[in-house]
Amino acid sequence: MSGILYEEASMVTFIFVTIILGGAGAWMTGRACALTWRPYPMLLFYLLVLSFGVRFIHFSLFQATLLSLHYWIVDAIFVLAVGSIAYRYTRTNQMVSQYYWLYAKSGPLSWRSL
């Protein structure tokens, strides 16, 4: 399993850097883009930049490979997933609270017309 998701000696490093730090950064990025009404493609750009930052933290603090396409893709997929969920969750809450006479929640990530 360690060869597929992470290259460090300990899974704790992967959990700390990618899941906790990268996930928190991705959540806040997705939330910020939704709150400022930015389009989804702009969020994707920001999250890709963040995934490079997560890879750099692995490299600079834990001597991982910086230019590893495989491990960057693992980091990028996780960051993109968390950021996209945060964006959609925040946008749903915005739509149903700001336009309460037009929309109602149909789930945590979607809304419907009234």
Domain assignment present for residue 1? The answer is no
Domain assignment of residue 84, given as a range: 9-113
Domain assignment present for residue 39? The answer is yes
43-96 pLDDT per residue, tens: 999 999 999 999 999 999 988 888 889 889 999 999 999 999 999 999 999 999
Domain assignment present for residue 4? The answer is no
The count of structural domains within the chain is 1
Decide if 80 contacts 51 (C-beta within 8 A).
yes
Domain assignment present for residue 108? The answer is yes
Decide if 71 contacts 64 (C-beta within 8 A).
yes
**Higher-confidence position of 42 and 63:** 42
User: How far does Cα 17 stand from its chain's mean position?
Assistant: 13
Residue 2 pLDDT: 55
Q: How far apart are CA 114 and CA 102, in angstroms?
A: 6
Give the percent of the chain with pLDDT over 90. Answer: 75
Decide if 114 contacts 104 (C-beta within 8 A).
yes
